[in-house]
């Protein structure tokens, strides 16, 4: 996931939860296979974001979210709480990469809790905080 994809993944998150509540089986392959369902899903995302994503990008986000619900729910929750930019930006740690990571900086145990995490970029996480 890239930082520029936050709106898309946040919207996919909201629609996915809405579908779960309404028992629409969001993990069903039907949403990726059947033309009418794909069109409906893409229409919802475009309508809610106000951005013209191509179908392939929306379906990839939908599939990513379905395969890694916990990961993307955590990313969305941490970003909502602490912001949608790398924690290390503007901290003299060098330029950020485009790929989003969630980093547990306060409590290094399991499970990952929203209040213990920040949004980081892959570059800073792999460098050990810049």
Residue ranges of the domains in the chain? 3-67, 82-126
Give the pLDDT band (50/70/90) at residue 130.
very low
Give the span between the Cα atoms of 54 and 85, in whole angstroms: 24
Question: 16-43: per-residue pLDDT in tens?
Answer: 999 989 888 888 888 899 999 999 999 9
Beta carbons within 8 Å of 44's beta carbon, 6+ residues apart: 15
Cα-based angle 16, 71, 14 (whole degrees, multiple of 5): 20
Question: 61-112: per-residue pLDDT in tens?
Answer: 999 999 998 889 999 999 988 888 999 998 888 899 999 988 887 766 667 7
First vs last C-alpha separation in the chain: 20
Give the span between the Cα atoms of 16 and 27, in whole angstroms: 9
The neighbour count for residue 73, using CB atoms within 10 Å, is 15
């Amino acid at each position: 996931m890239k930082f520029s994809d936050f709106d898309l993944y946040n919207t996919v998150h909201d629609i996915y939860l809405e579908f779960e509540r309404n028992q629409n089986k969001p993990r069903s392959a039907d949403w990726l296979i059947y033309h009418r369902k794909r069109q409906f899903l893409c229409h919802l995302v475009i309508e809610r974001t106000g951005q013209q994503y191509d179908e392939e990008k929306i379906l990839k986000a939908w599939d990513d979210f379905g395969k890694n619900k916990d990961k993307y729910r955590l990313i969305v929750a941490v970003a909502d709480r602490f912001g949608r930019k790398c924690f290390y930006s503007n901290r003299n740690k060098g330029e950020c990469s485009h790929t989003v990571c969630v980093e547990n900086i306060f409590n290094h145990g399991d499970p990952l809790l929203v209040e213990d995490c920040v949004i980081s970029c892959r570059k800073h996480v792999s460098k050990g905080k810049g």
